[in-house]
Chain A
Amino acid sequence: MMTLTKAHLAKKVADDCGFLTGEARDIVDKLIGVVRTSLIEGEEVMITGFGKWMVRNKRARRGRNPQTGEELVLDSRRVVTWKYSPVLKRALNEAGK
């Protein structure tokens, strides 16, 4: 099994769209940067056919340190979640059928 990284994406952008590797790396960084900034600003990002990132507010809750059993309060926090697009789910389950 392989893992796709930013370097692979940059290579693909360089080869398919006609950029130098360095330029393509910069473009991929900026693309990810736009998604990041939106999420940090609390805005969701939806890519049709791929999925949607959302920012959720979690309420504070009482928790426990599982090692010591000590009770503690977990503060409210903001988290990023991602939900796959139904199109992607279908494609993932049609492969090999």
Chain B
Amino acid sequence: MNKSGLIAALAKEADLPLRKSEEIVNLVFDTMGKTLIAGDRIEIRGFGSFMVKQYKGYTGRNPKTGEQITVEDKNLPFFKTGKELRDKVDQADL
């Protein structure tokens, strides 16, 4: 499922016009993205949580050429599946 699929499914579930559903889906993921960019966590009970890990930069070498390279600091987001979803997904009969 992609974003348009989600917009259509939400419109149907919540009995909303497509345009409204699109506005909401965009707003929700935009808000979640901005939260992570600010370095904050997201926690949705029963579903999962997002957090940003910060990695320090380092000076490394290309093992093939021996060339020295600088790896800069970086921030990466991670998702941890909530217990309820983890159990449901694992127990689903497919």
A residues with a Cβ closer than 8 A to B are 1-6, 8-9, 12-13, 16-17, 26-28, 30-36, 38-51, 53, 55, 77-82, 84, 88-89, 91-93, 95
Number of interface residues of B (CB under 8 A): 48
- Listed A/B pairs (8) with beta-carbon separation below 8 Å: A3-B42, A3-B43, A31-B24, A36-B85, A40-B85, A55-B89, A88-B33, A95-B37
When the two chains form their complex, are residues B33 and A17 in contact, meaning their CB atoms are under 8 A apart? no
**What residues make up the interface of B, taking CB atoms closer than 8 Å to A?**
1-3, 6, 9-10, 13-14, 16, 20, 23-25, 27-29, 31-33, 35-45, 47-48, 50, 52, 74-79, 81, 85-86, 88-90, 92, 94
A42 contact set on B, CB distance < 8 A: 92, 94
CB distance from B32 to the nearest CB of A (A): 7
The residues of A that contact B23 with a CB separation of less than 8 Å are 17
Q: Which of A9, A12, A31, A77 contacts B10 (CB 8 A)?
A: A31
